[in-house]
Amino acid sequence: MTQQPFSRPGAIDLSGLGKPAPHAGAPSGRPAAPAGGGASYSVTVDEQGFQALLEQSMTAPVLLVFYSRTRMPESGQLADDLATVVEEHEGRYLLGLVDIDAAPQIAQAMQIPSIPLVVAVVDGRPMPLLQDPLPIDELRTALTQVGQQLTAQGVTGRHQPRASGAPAADGEEEVVDPRYAPAQDALAAGDIEGAVAEYQKLVDANPADVEAAGGLAIAKVMQRTQGVDLGAARAAAAENPDDVDAQTMVADLDMLGGHVEDAFTRLINLVARTSDKDREKARDHLLGLFAAVGNDDPRVLAGRRDLASALF
Q: Which of 116, 22, 121, 107 is nearest to 69 (CA)?
A: 116
CATH of 1-161, one of 3.40.30.10, 3.50.50.60, 3.30.930.10, 3.40.50.300: 3.40.30.10
For 56-93, letters b (16+ CB in 10 Å) and e give bbebbbbbbbbbbeeebeebbbbbbbbbbbbbbbbbbb
pLDDT at 26 over 60: no
Helix (H, G, I), strand (E, B) or coil at 232: helix
Q: Which residues pair with 122 in a beta bridge?
A: 125
- pTM comes to 0.47
Length of the chain: 312
Which whole-number Å values give the CA distances from 122 to 55, 165, 231, in the listed order? 10, 20, 25
Please state, in angstroms and rounded to a whole number, the distance separating the CA atoms of residues 168 and 174: 8
Task: Say how far apart CA 248 and CA 284 lie, in whole Å.
Answer: 10
Question: Which of 37-41, 126-130, 245-249, 282-286 bottoms out in mean pLDDT, i.e. has the lowest?
Answer: 37-41
Q: Domain extents for the chain?
A: 1-161, 178-311
Span 75-85, average pLDDT: 93
Rounded to whole angstroms, what are the CA distances from 230 to 18, 274, 279, 289, 303?
Answer: 43, 24, 24, 18, 24
**pLDDT tens, 133-156?**
889 988 888 888 787 777 766 677
Contacts (Cβ under 8 Å, ≥6 apart) of 227: none
- State residue 215's pLDDT score: 84
CA distance 248 to 254: 10
Task: Determine the 3-state secondary structure of 231 from DSSP.
Answer: helix
Residue-wise pLDDT for 180-198, tens only, equals: 788 888 877 788 899 899 9
**Collapsed DSSP state (helix, strand, coil) of residue 311:** helix
| Model pLDDT for residues 155-183, shown as the tens digit of each residue | 777 887 764 333 433 444 444 567 878 88
Give Dmax over CA atoms of the chain in angstroms.
66
Instruction: Specify the CATH class of 178-311 in words.
Output: mainly alpha
Q: Which residues fall within 8 angstroms of residue 287, CB to CB, at 6 or more apart?
A: none
